[in-house]
Amino acid sequence: MVYSIESAQSIFSSTQVPSPIPATIALFEQLNVDDKLALLWFAYTEMGRSITPAAVGAARLQFAEGLLNQIKQMSQADQLQVMRDLANRADTPISRSYANFSVNTKLAFWYELGEFMKQGIVAPVPSGYEMSRGVQIVLDAIKQLDAGQQITVLRNTVVDMGFGDVVVSSSPQVDAEPLFPRTEPAPTKITVKGITEPTVLSYIEALNKDDFDAAIALFTPDGALQPPFQKPIVGYEAIKRYMRAEAQGLNILPQEGISEELQNGSKQVKVTGIVQTPWFGVNVGMNISWRFLLNSEGKIFFVAIDMLASPAELLNLRVR
């Protein structure tokens, strides 16, 4: 049997992913711009405490520094307008520059703005601000999510800001950016209960070392990686750029897995476990599964990374 990416997408189809994430983002999208900014402020002040400042690192801001300095010099009214323009995806020079930032620079930019807001250097949410009903509804929806899901919502809203249809992983800045410093070394000798496939173990070991060349070498030339809530990314170059942009500094702690041999010598393998992002370190663990389709030579033809609906899903190791 010959596989297509489409058929591979349906392996381990009983894996439950959290629909509240897209639903909460859709609710957020319906807010007016000031409500969006206020919502993010409240969500962030509750979660922001657990950001590990080492992740932000001065080097990470090298591309955002110019914009941040420009914003610092502005009147409070203009600062607020810049933030509205970003959230509205308005066509302004600042909004265009922002859209070209890598994901990590976008996050670092807002982290820094948030710090400036706390220090009074950038216009804060007015002290008498009364939450509208809409903000309350979205905030309540966010509170229902687990911590890993909450930071995913926050991240997606930040990534989507700015003007232009830029594919962030192809941002030219990605290659120039320094790698995230790892505060603690991730485990590099991996064992996963139920899994002996060297490809799968090597994949996790490579990501835990930020060795994206080694990770790519495990794929077939037409292989694909499907990130959470996204379409598959196909081919060595595209996957490598994506990993460079999005997978830096991840701490992957796999727990269990299941592997099934298919008729033509290929295998489907599912692994579940916890992933920590360098932004929140050990403070937030995301429940994740990997669904691999390996060809008869043990190369990765397809891997889908899914955020799981609940911790109970970590134990869902059924084939169908």
Number of residues that bind ligand EQ3 (CB under 6 A): 31
Contacting ligand EQ3 within 111-130 (CB under 6 A): 111, 113-114, 117
Draw the binding track, 279-318, toward ligand EQ3 (x: CB under 6 A; -: no contact).
x------x-x----------------x-------------
Phi, psi of 193 (to 5 degrees): -55, 125
**Applying CB under 6 A, does 246 fall inside the site for ligand EQ3?**
yes
CA–CA distance, 41 with 39 (Å, rounded to integer): 5
Cβ distance to ligand EQ3 smaller for residue 252 or 317: 252
Contact 55, 151 (CB under 8 A): no
- Element of type H or E holding 292: strand 286-294
Q: How far is the CB of 308 from ligand EQ3 (least distance, A)?
A: 10
CA–CA distance, 15 with 176 (Å, rounded to integer): 37
The tokens for 101 are 């930032």
Contact 212, 244 (CB under 8 A): yes
Among 101, 110, 163, 219, binds ligand EQ3 (CB under 6 A): 110
Judge residue 121's burial from the number of C-beta atoms within 10 Å of its C-beta, 0-12 exposed, 13-18 middle, 19 or more buried: middle
Among 84, 155, 244, 299, binds ligand EQ3 (CB under 6 A): 155
Cβ distance to ligand EQ3 smaller for residue 249 or 259: 249
Contacting ligand EQ3 within 20-59 (CB under 6 A): 37, 40-41, 44, 51
Cβ distance to ligand EQ3 smaller for residue 268 or 277: 277
Q: How many residues does the chain have?
A: 320
If we measure between CA atoms, which residue out of 307, 305, 292, 306 comes closest to residue 219? 292
Q: How far is the CB of 263 from ligand EQ3 (least distance, A)?
A: 27
**Applying CB under 6 A, does 154 fall inside the site for ligand EQ3?**
yes
Q: What angle do CA 173, 51, 290 make, to 5 degrees?
A: 70
DSSP single-letter state for residue 179: P
Query: By the criterion CB under 6 A, which residues form the site for ligand EQ3?
Result: 37, 40-41, 44, 51, 83, 107, 110-111, 113-114, 117, 151-152, 154-155, 158, 207, 227-228, 243, 246-247, 250, 252, 275, 277, 279, 286, 288, 305
